[in-house]
A and B are shown apart, each in its own frame.
Chain A
Amino acid sequence: MQPKITAKLLCTDREVGEVSRVIVDPLSKTISHLVVKSDGQESLIAVDGLIASCTEREVRLQCASSALVKTGPFRRNDFVTIDEVEIPHLERHLDVDPGEVLVPLPELEKDLSRRQFFSRFTNVIGAMLALPLIYPVIRYLIYPMYKPFTNAWINLGNLSADRQPPGVPQIYKFAKTVTEGVITRHYEKSHWVLKPTPEQLNQIYPNGNLNFKDDKGDLIWVNQKAADVVVFSGKCPHLGCAYRWRHHKRFGMVFVCPCHLSVYSATGKVLDGPAPRPLDKLPVKVLPGGELEIIDMEFEAGVKEQIRIA
């Protein structure tokens, strides 16, 4: 089924023939040529920018027939149909005039309020399906995210085995067993232990004793200023890397973080680099036999204040 739309091509002076095909430019999406039939011959005529008016019966050009550029006889094989080319939104540029090609609205959908009811109620049912899921899904996903702090004391090692002279920090590695979900893992962690000199103690605890709290804000431990030993958390307070004790060409023996090159003194003071606060002290106690115990707290990195997160 193909309705035949035919029109005569008219110039200002005379009729040229009958339009048999329309050639569209795929880039500009305008009519570039018309194929015109006269005396049984089909020829290609360039009409880009020449069309003055267009009706069902006739296409009028704004030039004389002598000014027309005939590109010679029409060869069908030089062209493909618009179905075979991707020309997006061509229908916006080409109208079948007068009138349009239409598709009827189904009889049942002519009742607008009914149609509206369905479209709205579809959304309502969709929302009813989605809303009850939001809360369980969020709870499901955040399940491991906010666990209470663990305040257990962990053995870090024996101080009597530490041959380091006072004032020089020493790394203490210790085994940790953690259950996350159903996976229980044993791995090593490390903190730094310093047997401070009196001057160092003044730098480490400038405000006297240091209090530690649990997640409810209750006091659980106090590090006495007059202590034999200080433990620095092995986590760099800048962005959480593991820093180390080494020689620095400007500062001598210092803690250096290999990630963003923060430099700390033996007392944890920031000497250089981007760190926002001194090294974090951990709660520590020394048992009678010299056994060192700590609470393995974690503090938020990258902020000025010390905020406990685990």
Chain B
Amino acid sequence: MLEAVYRWVDERIDLKGLQAKMLNEPMAGGARYAYVFGSALLFIFIMQAVTGILLMFYYAPTADHAYASTRYIIEKVDFGWFILSYHLWGSSAMVAVMVMHMSQVYLWGAYKKPREMVWLAGLGLFLIVIGFGFTGYLLPWDQRSYWATVIGIEIVGKAPIIGDFLGRFLRGGSVPGAQTLTRFFVIHIMILPAALLAMVGLHLFFFRSAGPAGPFKGTTQELKSKMEYFFPTQVWKDIVVMGLVFVIVCTLAIRFPHQMLEEASPVASGLNPEPEWYFLFLFQLLRDPALSFLFAGQWGEFLGAIALPTIFLLLLVLLPFIDRSPERHILKRPIALTSWLVVLTSIVILTIRAIMFRE
């Protein structure tokens, strides 16, 4: 019966051909575990969409009900605590795997000609994921979310010319409140998912068009002799890693379910506001006493919170146009390797210092 349906559809839209084209992507040098990160990210995103939709069944996106409805999901609804915790740990997994994916592409030299467009669409996805993290953080409307958002929007407001407008736009006024929550909600559940889907489509289209980069060493003859199609070996490796990611996120969600703080309030309290762990390095940059000669005061704040991240992002955008040598072997690209090490080490050191030097 199922086969008959398949045949019926195939006759009309060439399903078999489509399937074959999807799966038979030639990969020079064969399948590898090094290539799983993109698929893992797609899997994480799908799970975020599924859990996100489930959360919306009970979440009320207004300032007077957001906190209570989130508590209701955690405390009352069957398995609500799990769905919510999975969504929160999933967002961390997204950022972690994204950094691995970007690092791999960077170290493999896979952003070079003819794959520049793939890299650029990937950077678009990077920004969208950061936006997801920032807007989603506010939605539970507890103290943690409120204060991280207060600071985050103040930082956005420090951008030249458009900063004030952007800050007001996100807040829906001059002070954070009910309008802020509604705005973050619509950005988080409508605008960013639509943008992400479009950008993932472009990313994959560019990727399929340019073809996978393959290993950075080995002669053409060697790579040709080990050539494999995407299916079945790479698909198998991808699914193994997806399973692993799923088990890790589930374990984290079960062992460390999300704990809510008090409802959002502008009153001074004993709370030490902090952003999500992946923003901690930026947070520390602005307050580290060892760096205060650079990042204190109005100008320092602009330098640390706006100028530096913008320059870094601009460098990433320009990377394939600056680094035009066809050499892909990472040990033969000392500048690339050193800059990667410096950036990652600085982020790790600042993150550790942010955790060490709490008030």
Contact = CB atoms under 8 A, between A and B. Distances in A.
Interface of A: 25-28, 80, 83-89, 141-142, 144-147, 171, 173, 178, 180-181, 183, 185, 187-190, 234-235, 238-244, 256, 258-261, 272-276, 298, 300-304, 309-310
B229 A274 contact: no
A181 B172 CA distance: 10
Contact of B224 (A25, A171, A173, A275): A25
Nearest to B17: A83
A274 B292 contact: yes
Contacts of A25: 224
Given A86-B24, A238-B301, A274-B292, 9 more contacts: A26-B26, A27-B224, A88-B208, A189-B267, A242-B269, A273-B292, A275-B297, A301-B157, A310-B175
Nearest to B292: A274
B10 interface: no
Contacts, number: 167
Contacts of B267: 173, 188-190, 234, 242
B204 to A, nearest CB: 11
Interface residues of B, number: 61
Contact of A302 (B22, B158, B209, B269): B158
Contacts of B174: 145, 147, 298, 309-310
B178 A185 contact: yes
A179 to B, nearest CB: 9
A261 B227 contact: no
Interface in B118-170: 147, 150-151, 154-155, 157-158, 165, 168-169
B64 A234 contact: no
A253 to B, nearest CB: 15
A142 B179 CA distance: 11
Given A189-B266, A190-B267, A302 B227 contact: no
B173 A239 contact: no
Contacts of A27: 26, 28, 211, 220, 223-224, 227
Contacts of B62: 183
A146 B178 contact: no
A298 B174 CA distance: 8
A242 B26 contact: no
Contacts of A235: 266
A161 B221 CA distance: 88
Interface string B290-333: 00100111101100000000000000000000000000000000
B63 A185 contact: yes
Given A86-B21, A276-B298, A310-B175, A183 B26 contact: no
Contacts of B182: 181
Nearest to B224: A27
A272 to B, nearest CB: 8
Contact of B172 (A28, A144, A171, A275): A144
Interface string B78-96: 0000000000000000000
Given A89-B209, A301-B154, A304-B298, A145 B168 contact: yes
B276 interface: no
B172 A241 contact: no
